[in-house]
Every structure is written in structure tokens, then in C-alpha cells.
Structure 1
Amino acid sequence: MKAMILAAGRGQRMMPLTQAMPKPMLKVQNKPLIEHHVNNLKAAGITDIVINLAWQGDKIKAYFKDGSQFGVNIVYSQEVEGGLETAGGIIQALPLLGESFIVINGDVFTDYDVSSLMQLHLQPGEAHLVLIENPPHNLGGDFTLSHLSPDSQKYTFSGISRYQADFFNGLEPGIRPLGPLLREKLSKHLVSTELYIGNWDDIGTPARLTALNERLA
């Protein structure tokens, strides 16, 4: 199975740290955030990785090259300046990803073990999302654990998921956010969810990055 790490975002809320550096290259425990994902994927047995690039993507490419020094094989999906948003980026990279694949946001830090996603038996056209308890910056949550109870407690999408490639059938390439697509497919019972109770941080602001590094120290 292959995995895609989303690394094309502008990181506007992380300014000035991202003035000349893509957000996934900011350091956690003295190594780039995205390197933690690469190492975790390798530990789970996933060595074929796709990384999408836009803002300052050359910095990521120069650091990882083909991935061989990290024990993995990395290929890149170069996007237009400004990026294609999440769904658009995945759609562009589909030829590189195969029939079923894992996607991880490059700007989160977590100890979630993606091995469990590899064991799922998804049907054609399906996806699976990992949710986490709502952090202070998203108290309203994103999705419920059951599509049968749309008014029940909502939890936050962790940015970790698995897709069948045909989940994106019929969608034209271009700029496309992921949220509306997930909600549409949830209503058609094509998306399953799980709740992860473990370490997870969204590196969305300089203050959160500082707090994470202080906590880990």
C-alpha cells in the first residue's frame, strides 16, 4: 500500500516561520515535522510515499530527494502555485497512488499507528476517516462517528484517512476542497469513521508549535 503526505499548503497562519519554509519542514524534536510521518509510515511497512508540493516545495524535495536515505521511495506531485486544496491535490496524484492508499496531513503531529488502516477492508468507492476529540480551536467538531445519527456528538477530522481511488471517480482535476466531498459521500454511506484517543497536535500556529516542542522536551 502507498501513502500520500499533504505538504502543499501555504501555511499562512504560521507566518513568519513559513516565509521561506513550507510548514511541514518546521522542526519538532529537532527534525522536520514531515520526517516524523515518513518514519512512522516506514515503521508500519509503507515505503512508497507520494508528497504533493506547492509553496516552497523545493525545500522538501531537496531534503528527502528520492527517499532512499530514509529507507523509503518518495515521488512528488507538483502543484500549481497556491496549491489545489486537499481533494484537488489527491485527484492530481491518483496516477501515483494505486487502488487504495492512506493520506496524512503534513502539518499534524501524532503517534497514530497507520498499520490499523492497512487492515481495513474497504468496498469500492469508500473512504475511512480517523477522528480525534475536539481541540480548543475546533470545539464544534467536523463529523460524527455514525452517519445514522447526524445530530450526535461531532469530532474533529485528524487529517489521517484511507481511500479507495474510485472514491474520486468523476471529479475533474483542479482546485477542490475535501470537506464538502466528504460530507456528500457520508450522506451516501460511503465513509466510515473511528475515534482515536491518543497524541495528536495540529501545528496551526507558531504558539502551538512552541507548546508542542516544550511539552515533548
Structure 2
Amino acid sequence: MKAMILAAGRGNRLRPLTDHTPKPLLTVKGKALIEYHIDALVRAGIHQLVINHAWLGEQIEAKLGSGSVYGADILYSPEAVPGLETAGGILKALPLLTDGETPFVVVNGDVLTDFNFQDLHQHRLAAGCLAHLVLVATPAYKAQGDFGLEAGRVTSQGDLTFAGISVLHPHLFEGLSPGARPLAPLLRAAMAKGQVTGVCYQGVWHDIGTPERLEEVNQF
């Protein structure tokens, strides 16, 4: 199984920090956010990684290189600024990620977590399912949740938040034309057909979306 780390976002809410540094290279305890993901994926036995980028993407490639220093094999999927959004970026990277039938892990590059990716490396999508999502309790700074969880199936309404960690089947993107598009509508369409499973993770998880949250996790 391969994994994709989403790293193409502009990080507008993190400005001015992201004016000259791409969001995934912002540091927590002296280590870039994206490096935490790479290390965790490699520990879980996932060594083949694809990273998309747009804003200041050359800095990401310069920092991470081939991935050999991390024990990983990294391929890059560059996008023109402002990027292709989540589903568009994954669709562009599909030839690097899968043979068209094999699921893959996707991780948002701007979250910080102690989630054990081995759970996903060993996960097998249920028959007929197109996605398996990791959900978390909705943080206090969010007005409402993204999804719900009922008997292991994710629903389109609820008080849980998508953690930005998932296993996706390439068929989720079947028939889509290239271009910028969000992921949520695809997931909701699959949820309506009962094709999305999930789990609620109760460990450490932070969305590093603002300078204040970045400062907060650096003080832990």
C-alpha cells in the first residue's frame, strides 16, 4: 500500500507564517509537520509516498528530496498555484499511487497526530466500500462536526470531524475529469450508498490551521 500526503494548500489562515514557508514545512519542536507524517508512515511499513505541492513546492522537494534519509521513497505531484483542491490533487496523482484497483492512504499535511498508521496499512476496505475515514471529536473552535458514525458506517451528518486521514479506493474518483474539485462531495455521495466506513480516534490530534494553534502545540 502507498500513501499520499496532501501538501498543496496555500495556508491562508496561517499567514504571514506561510508567506515564505509552505505550510507542511512549519515546525513543531524543531521538526517540520510533514516529517512527522513521513516518519509515522515509514514506522507503519508504508515506504512509498506521493506528495503533491503547489505553493512554494520547490521548498518541499528541496527539504525532503528522494525521501531516502527517512527510509522512504518519495514521488512528487506538482500542481500550479493555487492547487487542485483535495480530490483534484488526488486524481492527478492516481497514476503514481495505484494500479487502479489498489486502495491507498491519504493524510492531510497540516495535522499533527500520534495515530498509528499501521492500523490503516493492515486495513482492508469492506466489500463494496470506497473509503475508510478516521474521525475525531469535533474541536471547540469548530461550530459543528463534519460527519457521523453509526455501526461502523460514516454518515453525512453528525458531531464528528474528519481527521484528514483515510484509506481511499481509486474507484471513488472514477469518471472524473481533471481539474480542481473538493473531496467532501465525493465522500458524501459514497456515504449515501453506504460505501464509507470509519473509526473514531481518541488519541492526540491537532489541526494546525492558525498561528495560535501552531504556537499552542509548540508549548506542549
Q: Which TM-score tier does this pair reach, normalised by the shorter chain? A: over 0.9
Q: Aligned partners of 1:154 and 1:117: how far apart in 2?
A: 23
Deviations 1:66-95 (A, max 9, x none): 111111100000111100000000000000
Tell me, yes or no, if structure 1 residue 68 matches structure 2 residue 65. no
Mark the CA change 1:151 to 1:117 in structure 2 (over 3 Å): closer, same or farther. closer
Tell me, yes or no, if structure 1 residue 128 matches structure 2 residue 120. no
Q: Contact 2:155/2:192 (CA < 8 Å) preserved in 1?
A: no
Q: Which residue of 2 aligns with 1:25?
A: 25
Shift of 1:154: 2.1
Q: Which moved more, 1:139-148 or 1:24-33?
A: 139-148
Q: Which residue of 2 aligns with 1:200?
A: 205
Q: Aligned partners of 1:52 and 1:151: how far apart in 2?
A: 27
Mark the CA change 1:154 to 1:59 in structure 2 (over 3 Å): closer, same or farther. same
Q: Which residue of 2 aligns with 1:180?
A: 185
Q: Aligned partners of 2:16 and 2:198: how far apart in 1?
A: 35
Tell me, yes or no, if structure 1 residue 115 matches structure 2 residue 86. no
Q: Aligned partners of 2:83 and 2:132: how far apart in 1?
A: 24
Q: Aligned partners of 1:55 and 1:93: how far apart in 2?
A: 17
Aligned partner of residue 93 in structure 1, secondary structure: helix
Q: Contact 1:23/1:107 (CA < 8 Å) preserved in 2?
A: yes
- Which residue identity is paired with 2:169? Q
Q: Aligned partners of 1:64 and 1:151: how far apart in 2?
A: 36
- Which residue identity is paired with 1:133? A
Q: Which residue of 1 aligns with 2:142?
A: 138
Q: Aligned partners of 1:156 and 1:37: how far apart in 2?
A: 19
Tell me, yes or no, if structure 1 residue 106 matches structure 2 residue 98. no
Mark the CA change 1:72 to 1:151 in structure 2 (over 3 Å): closer, same or farther. closer
Q: Aligned partners of 1:197 and 1:8: how far apart in 2?
A: 27
- Which residue identity is paired with 2:73? N
Q: Contact 2:156/2:191 (CA < 8 Å) preserved in 1?
A: no
Q: Aligned partners of 1:152 and 1:172: how far apart in 2?
A: 28
Q: So what's the TM-score if we normalise by structure 1?
A: 0.95
Q: Which moved more, 1:172-181 or 1:115-124?
A: 115-124
Q: Aligned partners of 1:57 and 1:152: how far apart in 2?
A: 35
Q: Aligned partners of 1:65 and 1:149: how far apart in 2?
A: 37
Q: Aligned partners of 1:152 and 1:174: how far apart in 2?
A: 27
Q: Which residue of 2 aligns with 1:92?
A: 92
Q: Which residue of 2 aligns with 1:171?
A: 176
Shift of 1:16: 0.4
Could you tell me which runs of 5 or more consecutive residues in structure 1 were left unpaired when the two chains were aligned.
none
Mark the CA change 1:150 to 1:7 in structure 2 (over 3 Å): closer, same or farther. closer
Shift of 1:172: 1.0
Q: Contact 1:65/1:74 (CA < 8 Å) preserved in 2?
A: yes
Q: CA RMSD in A?
A: 1.6
Shift of 1:100: 1.2
Count of matched residue pairs: 215
Q: So what's the TM-score if we normalise by structure 2?
A: 0.94
Aligned partner of residue 41 in structure 2, secondary structure: helix
Aligned partner of residue 144 in structure 1, secondary structure: strand
- Which residue identity is paired with 1:72? A
Aligned partner of residue 190 in structure 2, secondary structure: helix
